[in-house]
Amino acid sequence: METITEIQVDDIKRLSDTQVKQIAVLAAHRVNVLIKGQELTKADYARMMQCFGVNPKRDVWFEDKDHHEVMYVTNKLMCGDDGDKPGVFSRGELNWHQNGTLTLDPEDCVVLYCEEPTKDPCNTHFTNGVAAYNSLPQDVKDKIENTELILTADTRSFHKLKNPHFVKRSIKPRILDNERVWTEVPMEEIAELWKIQDRTRSAGSTIEREMMEKVEKYSELGARWNMIYKRLVHRHRLTGIKGLYFPFSNVVGFHDIPEDEWQDLFNFLKDHFLKTSAEVKWEHGDIVLFDNTQGLHKRSVFPKDENGNDQSRELWRGAFWYHDI
């Protein structure tokens, strides 16, 4: 399977609502879809997004005032009440990620339209989790079939902890549905947990009892630092097709893989996953639909103009869930 599937559409504005929805279904099957040569107004883009389902108004500064379906991913000063703020993700390089990794129902598919590309290339790169899964050796597929990822927002802080594996073993996640389990612990209280560990190291079961009491307390309070568990092998909610869900920048372990094995598996899966990467070299009129549940994406650094400033770029962004189409 190719990472990005390009399809020919003369004018997406001329398509019926049903035909536009079929493009979303294609994205669910192919993961990343590219349509070139379109000419859209904001009203046209809003109408396209309405075909994909519910697009709630978010009341954020990077949302178009007249068409809330249009969110600006731009470094141009054109947003906010006074039109003097850049859009979202307005600076620098964006490393490999999936949107909403630490939420329970992240957006299924993202739609980008290029209104204004940079003069020199500022490309977006995509991976394909279905292609990555299909090309795995069978013994690896068997090993990871029921494996859960352990994800956190701040992997750097996590790995700086005195004994991060102690946290992974000690925190008992609450089951929220059949697919995901999670728990939350306040980051500022982690140091206190280590003090408990050190103080009761020779006290046997005392440490587990005191640790569990604190973890249960913090989980009930709702905390700022969370760990969330999600399945590595993801079955698509619309197509039923299996693919890898592997936002490796947020991964700190595998729930059922021994500690002396998880790093090797992590490195293998990361290298294997990135072999599916391909890039879109943005041109005016490009539309990309990418399945957020079965792929990663990243953005190259903005090229500089003759004065050393970032070149301007303007993308329009929207997202939807497959259960809405």
Find tokens 């994406």 and name the residue: 297
What is the mean pLDDT of the segment spanning 215-220?
A: 43
pTM, whole model, 2 decimals? 0.81
Confidence of residue 117 (pLDDT cuts 50, 70, 90): very high
Q: For domain 5-129+276-324, which architecture applies?
A: 4-Layer Sandwich (3.60)
CB-neighbour burial class of residue 83 (10 A; exposed 0-12, middle 13-18, buried 19+): exposed
Compute, in degrees rounded to 10, the torsion defined by CA atoms 81, 84, 87, 89.
-130
Strands (E) across the chain are located at 5-7, 32-35, 71-74, 94-97, 109-116, 124-126, 148-152, 174-175, 180-184, 226-231, 233-235, 242-244, 251-254, 278-280, 287-291, 297-299, 314-320
Residue ranges of domains in the chain: 5-129+276-324, 135-274
Report the mean per-residue pLDDT for the chain.
81
Tokens of 208: 């587990």
Find tokens 């009892």 and name the residue: 209
Confidence of residue 145 (pLDDT cuts 50, 70, 90): very high
Rounded CA gap, 175 and 172, in Å? 9
Q: Is 320 within 8 Å of 127 (Cβ atoms)? A: no
Could you give the percent of the chain with pLDDT greater than 90? 57
